[in-house]
Structure 1
Amino acid sequence: MCDMAYPTFHQAHPELAGWVPVSEPVFNDTDDSPLYEHPYQELLRSIVASNDVAALRLYHASPHTRVFWGDYEVPYWHPFRVAEEHDSCEALRVLLEIYLSDPAYQTPEYRPMVEYLARWNFSPIHMACAAADRDLTLWLLSKKRQGEDERPLATLQDPGLDYDGRTPLITAVSGLTRYGDDIERREAFICFLLDDLGCKVRDSDVSCSFIQGRRQQILERVPRADHYDANAQEEKDAEEKEFTYTVLGAAIPHASYRMTARLIAAGANVHALQSWTDTFKWCTYDERIIIDSKGVTASHIACLYGNLEGLSALVDHRGGVSVAEMMARADDQGRLPLHWALLGASEEGPGSIAARNGDDLDQILAEDGMTPRSRRMIATVKWLLSVNPDMVTARDRQGATVIDYAVKSRAAEAAGILAVVKLLLDARPLALTLKYVPDEKTEQVGTTTAASNTPTLLQDTVTHHSQRSNQVGNKQFKELIETFLTLRADNSLCLHRLCAGNWQDPISLSMLDGLLEPPADINDTDVDGCTAMHYLVRHLVQIEAARHLISRGADVTVANLKGNTSLHELMKGTMIRRLDEHGNPDPTQPRDAPTRAREEWIKFLVEAGGSMHKPNAAGQTPIQLLGELNERIRCNLQKEAARLSGRGRGRGWSHGREAG
């Protein structure tokens, strides 16, 4: 039981002052201070989030509060949802008991429990299984509904109102994790569902509708009735039908060998096909990657998460299918388990929320710059190539190679990507792995990457790194670029991607020179008519890179499709505020650094042939845009000064950039 310490609520909320009974104390805290509710049940939500059963009972007993409201402005403020978010299983049980027993909730304003749960799309049995709470699960299965209804409050076959149809067993296995002291408890709970409560794995899989007209198609192929075995075909249909979710597919991201083998022994089909929707979509910055996948097996998913232990269990229980055949099974987009292993799961990797917060043990950097997650990806790829090295030449239906997937990997940082690229390049001849092949159905064969708007391998490499890191000087990233340039990878328009990156450090002049090797031209334009300089001038810290490009022949007078020259684009330029090791603004960087930098840019761009008086397609000249920018900066500074005079303090630039 949690201590009742809620200092935030020791005073009545000013919005409720004088409103009786809501302005009255609810109960007293541990220090005997009165506790007051706030306008949106903040006190109750804090109690439920803390799983504080004693405080919850006192709250319910107060004549000045009501636990359940008739409606909620924000659905996730409902006490059930708060309990779910914080795994407050004991508090949830008390909430359910209150609703079932309090006469206040037996009025027409409130529906019977099951209907009420449905209204809020909440399933307590799914929450109990997700939390692996044995006591709450048993209570829900034994607790009777209201009135004369003798049915239990929940069953293990409930479809899950807000769980996309996933069954409680699927919810339970989805809670498996790779680290922590919770693994054994969760595995024991899953075995409890299977052995003690009689959950059936295959009954818990969620299937899509059978393929429409499948039986009719069979009859058309085999018109004679004596050639058709209905019973045999029903078995075949059961094996070939597609699932939305499977128990094995939900468990395999983090399941141990033992847990995987246990589920297979309980009836899980190693080769079952299911659909898969990526949490954050497949590679959202690359339109070639499809959002949803079908024809996915547990092997694909195990490789996606780098779970080599679970994959080994799948292989050892594969039945009569060879390992090579198992790993050659492609999804509906032509992606082998190797493609999935290289890409990595969306919620993992250095870009994940847990990694950014420093809470992901998989993302602890070693001295060589690699993480445990990167090493698992590399180990998985090595194993897959040992099964069949020819898989390295596989392309998906869009023509993307395994190296295309590797450079966009979400599982690895720059060091891991470099290591796995070297592994792939060592496996088979380079000509079979580096070049993009257009899809004949969607692209005209023979068109350039610029014309088809298809990013090259080098473009993808730069874009992905810039989205995951603002360190252009990372030594593994530089080596990766040099590796591809040495192998004569297509460098067209890659300079544009490099110059567009929001890098914190200066771009290496040698990297610029490498990307300018033929056939690239320094004044090449993209589909918007922009040269690399159009992008570089937007980043005021890259002035030395700009000087270098001009020395190599960059033409600052080129206008894009909107008529903008480099000087027009300069007025959009920004400068990242430097931070010290504690995340505070660096006092050595002057507040007016962007303005000073912009003045220096204007001077040398004009010296290079640019004009401050040349209008764009909208009739705007760079000098007009500069005047508008300076006016915005002046107004913003005035507003900030007024705000600071009222508050007495401030934090400098807004969002790490200058006021304009």
Structure 2
Amino acid sequence: MSPYEEFRERENGILHEPESPAGIRPTIIETDGSTLYEKQFFPLRTAIIERNDTAALKKYLENAPWAIKRGHALGMYYDPFIVAARHESINALKILLDHYSNFMKPSGRTDLDGRCCRVLNTAAQCGRLEAVKLLLDHPLLDADIHYKYNGFTPIMAATNTFDWKDNIEGKKAVIDWLLDRGARASDVEYSWDSFLDPITGKYIAKQVPVFTVLNLAAGWAGADLTQRLIKSGADPNVKLREDTEVTSRVDITIISTASRYANVDALKILLDCANRAGHVADTVSYCDSWGNMALHWACRVSIEEDPREVAENIMAEKVQRIMTILGLLLDCNPETINSQDIYGNTPLHYAAMNYSNYGHEYTAIFQYLCDRGADASIRNKKSETALHSLCSYDGGLPIDTAAVEILFGHRAKATDTDDNGNTPLHSAVKNLENLDAIEFLLDHGADIGAKNLKGNTPLHEAANGMFWPGVMKEKYKSMGDILRRLQGDEGCLMDKLNAEGKSARQILNEVRKDFQEKMDDIENERKLWESEIWKKNYLLCYPFSLLSFDEGAYFLSHFIGWPINLTTPDDDEAIALEEYTVGWLCALPLEMAAAKGMLERIHPDLSQQDP
């Protein structure tokens, strides 16, 4: 079968890309004599370049010589030169450059209509060494090894893994080659910030570093590369600014960067530099503007995947790296173990926040911190202990009771209340998958009658709680047992009123009503889809009354169990969703059977499937 099979059918419409004159759709004749038709955003051209298919590319450019012109800025991802650089399609890249020279006829060296630096940075970031060499050495191109595109020089692009984490070996080869060619390991990207002058009392504008070559590499580079960057002029002592969508912090050290990514090899080199300079203890205890030290950062090493889908050996390896990082930092300054940031959080708080739902392997981190002197009774500025933090985060895997037991053994209490009057039990019951941890708290002194400032008992919180998809039927009985314990003797707490005058029973009924309304709405949508609209297998952004577009697609695809093709008015290509079987998306927290009863009423054949 031809690799271009999808392009054998003509697509009606007009191309809107600026480089396409009069909306022309290019075509080429395949080796078997069939015609291939281009589509919007030039996927045929992209496929040809990705495959490094020089014969097909020459045919394409014969029929559409303008196809190497710069397109709209929003379509630069599909630019032919960028595609060739990203996939290291060297032969295709050479053809494109030669064709550009013949068709555009630039006088002297060219920057490809402003694309040259972006193409070079793309090749560097993707670790495409041969493409980098070709672009920097090609006589046609005005490529500069020191030029910043969007703040990044080629060597900075090569060290950047935010958008491209693959091909680490290729990235290292590019960095080494660029350094050999004279690239600066000291390259920095700055942003402007305002600071209060303590003498004049006026704010002054000042440039602060946000990215450096070493900072970008510290998250993944090995010992040899880290050492070479430092020897080549990278400053390991620079302090950086970090901006998020809503906040900003300054004075972040590169040691903190290596710690937050659990990069043991890089951290050892950085600590060795600080040790030889005689200030390693001060370096590891240096605080950024939020009061975070490297140790705080080491307790928030994230995983991008769903922890349920990560293999145990991978989890264990990451946990070992985190504990090695913690040990390296604490060996330099053991007194940092209970340091509090501006929010009053200790490293143990952050470990509890971030690792509570990662699985039992991560419990070893709590044990390690406590063995090194962490105090689980310390409260942050919301009066929360690490046990509050452990019980406060939903999703992922259930809380490990061994982690709760460790905190109990280091001065945490089940009866501790925060500023809102919440005990750890108030938080834990919001996710009924935490069955074992909830039972453990109840067995160790948690008070089912404790009221927070809203007047809610743990039962009120459970009534408005939830659990995540994937809960097995075997847990239903255990959930019921726990909920009966929360209700007190003979259900005495079911009708206790909170500050809003609502009982747990009333909250339950509201949740049940809301759930039933959503289920009814889904059933109405299903019936509509079974009509003529569904026969077309096509949906034009149908307005869901209760759900967003994405949520509606998710709910319908799971509950109906059919493949769904979705499209929006702004998107000419349908979004294909896989065929799913029904899965529990939510359930009534106090009476699980009620949820199943609704499903039986609405769709009896699906209700027989296991959750």
Q: TM-score, normalised by structure 2?
A: 0.71
State the one-letter code of the partner of 1:276.
Answer: E
Q: Please tell me whether the aligned partners of residues 558 and 566 of structure 1 are also in contact (alpha carbons under 8 angstroms).
A: yes
Which of 522, 525, 528 pairs up with 1:639?
528
Q: 1:509 to 1:158 in 2, by over 3 A?
A: closer
Q: Please tell me whether the aligned partners of residues 348 and 366 of structure 2 are also in contact (alpha carbons under 8 angstroms).
A: yes
Which of 420, 442, 449 pairs up with 1:522?
449
Instruction: Show the counterpart of 1:133.
Output: 128
Q: Please tell me whether the aligned partners of residues 371 and 412 of structure 1 are also in contact (alpha carbons under 8 angstroms).
A: no
Whole-Å separation in 2 of the counterparts to 1:308 and 1:425: 21
- Superposed, 1:347-366 pairs within 5 Å as 349=303, 352-353=304-305, 364-366=311-313
Whole-Å separation in 1 of the counterparts to 2:461 and 2:356: 32
Identity %: 20
Q: 1:27 to 1:544 in 2, by over 3 A?
A: same
Q: Please tell me whether the aligned partners of residues 209 and 241 of structure 2 are also in contact (alpha carbons under 8 angstroms).
A: yes
Q: Give the Å deviation of 1:527.
A: 4.5
Whole-Å separation in 2 of the counterparts to 1:93 and 1:399: 58
Asked if 1:488 corresponds to 2:412, the answer is yes
Instruction: Show the counterpart of 1:246.
Output: 212
State the one-letter code of the partner of 1:488.
Answer: A
Q: Which runs of 5+ in 1 are unaligned?
A: 107-111, 146-151, 221-239, 282-289, 439-448, 574-597, 599-621
Instruction: Show the counterpart of 1:188.
Output: 173
Q: 1:538 to 1:640 in 2, by over 3 A?
A: farther
Please give the secondary structure, in 2, of the residue aligned with 1:408: helix
Q: Give the Å deviation of 1:325.
A: 2.2
Which of 193, 202, 205 pairs up with 2:188?
205
- Superposed, 1:119-198 pairs within 5 Å as 123-143=118-138, 152-161=141-150, 165-174=151-160, 184-195=169-180, 197-198=181-182
State the one-letter code of the partner of 2:174.
Answer: F
- Superposed, 1:300-311 pairs within 5 Å as 300-311=256-267
Whole-Å separation in 1 of the counterparts to 2:23 and 2:207: 56
Asked if 1:37 corresponds to 2:38, the answer is yes
Q: Give the Å deviation of 1:412.
A: 8.9
Whole-Å separation in 1 of the counterparts to 2:262 and 2:519: 52
Please give the secondary structure, in 2, of the residue aligned with 1:326: helix
Q: 1:316 to 1:559 in 2, by over 3 A?
A: same
Whole-Å separation in 2 of the counterparts to 1:211 and 1:265: 32
Q: Give the Å deviation of 1:313.
A: 1.5
Q: Deviations over 1:198-233 (max 9, x none)?
A: 11222x22345598698x969x9xxxxxxxxxxxxx
Whole-Å separation in 2 of the counterparts to 1:125 and 1:427: 48
State the number of aligned residues: 518
Whole-Å separation in 2 of the counterparts to 1:436 and 1:652: 45
Instruction: Show the counterpart of 2:10.
Output: 12
Q: 1:208 to 1:399 in 2, by over 3 A?
A: same
Instruction: Show the counterpart of 2:248.
Output: 292
Q: Please tell me whether the aligned partners of residues 449 and 457 of structure 2 are also in contact (alpha carbons under 8 angstroms).
A: no
Q: Which runs of 5+ in 2 are unaligned?
A: 16-20, 468-475, 538-559, 563-579, 587-598, 604-611
Please give the secondary structure, in 1, of the residue aligned with 2:149: coil
Instruction: Show the counterpart of 2:47.
Output: 46
State the one-letter code of the partner of 2:378.
Answer: K
Q: Give the Å deviation of 1:652.
A: 5.6
Instruction: Show the counterpart of 1:535.
Output: 462
Q: Please tell me whether the aligned partners of residues 459 and 487 of structure 2 are also in contact (alpha carbons under 8 angstroms).
A: no
Q: 1:21 to 1:64 in 2, by over 3 A?
A: farther
Instruction: Show the counterpart of 2:390.
Output: 461
Q: 1:53 to 1:374 in 2, by over 3 A?
A: farther
More strand, by proportion: 2
State the one-letter code of the partner of 1:259.
Answer: L
- Superposed, 1:528-607 pairs within 5 Å as 531-536=458-463, 538-539=465-466, 541=476, 542-552=479-489, 555-559=493-497, 564-571=502-509, 573=511
Q: Please tell me whether the aligned partners of residues 169 and 199 of structure 1 are also in contact (alpha carbons under 8 angstroms).
A: yes
Q: Deviations over 1:157-195 (max 9, x none)?
A: 22213xxx1222111223599999x55543333222112
- Superposed, 1:439-454 pairs within 5 Å as 449=382
Q: TM-score, normalised by structure 1?
A: 0.66
Whole-Å separation in 1 of the counterparts to 2:401 and 2:264: 30
Please give the secondary structure, in 1, of the residue aligned with 2:249: strand
- Superposed, 1:492-511 pairs within 5 Å as 492-501=422-431, 503=433, 506=435, 510-511=439-440
Q: Deviations over 1:531-570 (max 9, x none)?
A: 5334335548543322221135652234556655434433
Instruction: Show the counterpart of 1:479.
Output: 402
State the one-letter code of the partner of 2:254.
Answer: A
Whole-Å separation in 2 of the counterparts to 1:66 and 1:332: 50
- Superposed, 1:307-318 pairs within 5 Å as 307-318=263-274
Q: Please tell me whether the aligned partners of residues 401 and 436 of structure 2 are also in contact (alpha carbons under 8 angstroms).
A: no
Instruction: Show the counterpart of 1:117.
Output: 115
State the one-letter code of the partner of 1:186.
Answer: K
Whole-Å separation in 1 of the counterparts to 2:75 and 2:453: 45
Q: 1:11 to 1:641 in 2, by over 3 A?
A: closer
Whole-Å separation in 1 of the counterparts to 2:516 and 2:182: 75
Instruction: Show the counterpart of 2:574.
Output: none
Please give the secondary structure, in 2, of the residue aligned with 1:166: coil
Please give the secondary structure, in 2, of the residue aligned with 1:268: coil
Asked if 1:372 corresponds to 2:317, the answer is yes
Whole-Å separation in 2 of the counterparts to 1:631 and 1:186: 53
Whole-Å separation in 2 of the counterparts to 1:649 and 1:130: 41
Q: Give the Å deviation of 1:73.
A: 6.8
Q: Give the Å deviation of 1:399.
A: 0.9
Q: Give the Å deviation of 1:46.
A: 2.9
Q: Deviations over 1:239-260 (max 9, x none)?
A: x984221111111112221111
Whole-Å separation in 1 of the counterparts to 2:384 and 2:175: 45
State the one-letter code of the partner of 1:275.
Answer: R
Q: 1:88 to 1:506 in 2, by over 3 A?
A: farther
Q: Please tell me whether the aligned partners of residues 218 and 258 of structure 2 are also in contact (alpha carbons under 8 angstroms).
A: yes
417-426 or 645-654: bigger deviation: 645-654
Whole-Å separation in 1 of the counterparts to 2:296 and 2:465: 35
Q: Please tell me whether the aligned partners of residues 93 and 136 of structure 1 are also in contact (alpha carbons under 8 angstroms).
A: no
Q: 1:158 to 1:53 in 2, by over 3 A?
A: farther
Instruction: Show the counterpart of 1:223.
Output: none
Instruction: Show the counterpart of 2:565.
Output: none
Which of 309, 320, 327 pairs up with 1:382?
327
Instruction: Show the counterpart of 2:337.
Output: 392
Q: Please tell me whether the aligned partners of residues 124 and 158 of structure 2 are also in contact (alpha carbons under 8 angstroms).
A: yes
Asked if 1:274 corresponds to 2:232, the answer is no
